[in-house]
Amino acid sequence: MEYTNLLLQHQGNIAVLTINRPKALNALNSDTLSELSAALDELGRDSSVKAVIVTGSGEKAFIAGADISQMKDFSPLEGRRFAQLGHATFRKLELLPQPVIAAVNGFALGGGCELSMACDIRIASENAKFGQPEVTLGLTAGFGGTQRLPRLVGTGLASELLFTGDIIDAQEAYRIGLVNKVYPLESLMEEALKLAQRIAGRAPVAVQLTKSAIQRGINLDLDSAQAYEAEVFGLTMSTSDRTEGCTAFVEKRKPNFEGR
Ligand code: HXC
């Protein structure tokens, strides 16, 4: 499918999804969110895609937030609908079968920070900046930031960021565990692709079940989550990748996974 505000490209079995409104620093308006939702449906159906990278167009911004020019005239109902559209879209991203890496290549503010937090893994360029500046605009975070930021960095740090609207740099984001790695901007995509390819080389069904156990389990109590993990583990016994992976280990050779 062709998109106006997105680029969806494929490099072998890796999909690269680029938010493409560079003139507005890739700000998310409702059209872009709707396109993102459609692109995620497309990716979720495509079993040839083993990992997804999300990034922003240009060298300045990942996503500078939800579109302020659109939000400034919202009625309460429109605001609620916009937040719900973001919630549904980011949840779809979070529950996409394939693992998703956010390659944060600049400003990740407000909705941009929130989108990155709905990805499984975040890596950042040295110039990346993170923050939830909604309170500086008379708004609250509305695409899951009040929920995902505390889960990722703890309530104290999240509260400070959400109450002050302070912007932090990539090193501070790394220090607090918001991003896994920081790279020079020019090598960010190469590193994202390398990581995606490492993941894509593992048993695909096992990777997808692992993601499901993490994402479903995190919202359950430990006993329910472990019961789900046991079901997921049991399910891997039905895959030919289990036979291949374990046999390859015993035969001291590299496994050749087929994703079934
Ligand atoms: C709409 C935006 C935008 C945004 C930037 N632009 N961010 N448009 N929504 N979030 C536009 C600018 O208006 C400008 O357009 C162009 O992009 C370039 O931006 P500049 O400000 O000129 O660039 P710079 O001086 O380098 O500053 C970069 C910046 C700044 C620090 C990132 O743009 C900024 O503070 N942006 C807003 C960040 C923010 O507050 N995000 C949170 C939004 S609230 P023109 O036409 O003038 O060239 C949010 C809520 C989510 O995300 C939940 C909703 C339910």
Q: What's the CA gap between 43 and 173, in Å, rounded? A: 29
For 225-253, the pLDDT digits (tens) are: 999 999 999 999 999 999 999 999 999 99
CA–centroid distance, residue 14 to ligand 1 (Å): 30
CB environment 121-134: b (16+ within 10 A), e (fewer): bbbbbebbbbbbbb
The residue whose CA is least distant from atom 54 of ligand 1 is 142
- Helix pair angle (155-164, 145-153), 10° resolution: 140
> ipTM of the predicted structure?
0.98
Enumerate residues lining ligand 1, CB below 6 A. Answer: 24-25, 27, 64-69, 82-83, 86, 107, 109-111, 133-134, 137, 139, 141-143
What pLDDT is stored for residue 51 in this prediction?
Answer: 98
The catalytic residue positions are 114, 134
For tokens 């080389």, what's the residue?
A: 201
Percent residues over pLDDT 70 in the chain: 100
Helix, strand, coil fractions of the chain, as percent rounded to 5: 50, 15, 30
CATH number for the domain whose boundaries are 204-250: 1.10.12.10
Residue 103 three-state SS: strand
Q: What's the CA gap between 240 and 242, in Å, rounded? A: 5
| CATH class in words for 6-200 | alpha beta
pTM for the complete prediction?
0.97
The residue whose CA is least distant from atom 33 of ligand 1 is 64
Q: Which atom of ligand 1 is nearest to the CA of 65?
A: 52
The residue whose CA is least distant from atom 41 of ligand 1 is 65
For 16-36, the pLDDT digits (tens) are: 999 999 999 999 999 999 999
CA–centroid distance, residue 61 to ligand 1 (Å): 10
Is 1's pLDDT higher than 90? Answer: no
CA–centroid distance, residue 78 to ligand 1 (Å): 20
Task: List 95's β-bridge partners, or say none.
Answer: none
Which of 8, 14, 13 has its CA nearest to residue 57? 8
Positions of CATH 3.90.226.10 in the chain = 6-200
Is 80's pLDDT higher than 90? Answer: yes
Q: How many residues does the chain have?
A: 260
| Residue from 5, 25, 115, 129 to probe ligand 1 pocket by mutation (most atoms less than 8 Å from CB) | 25
For 51-69, the pLDDT digits (tens) are: 999 999 999 999 999 999 9
Positions of CATH 1.10.12.10 in the chain = 204-250
Q: Which atom of ligand 1 is nearest to the CA of 86?
A: 55
> Are residues 119 and 54 in contact, defined by beta-carbon separation less than 8 angstroms?
yes
Beta strand spans in the chain (E):
6-11, 14-19, 51-56, 61-63, 100-104, 107-109, 121-125, 129-131, 167-169, 181-183
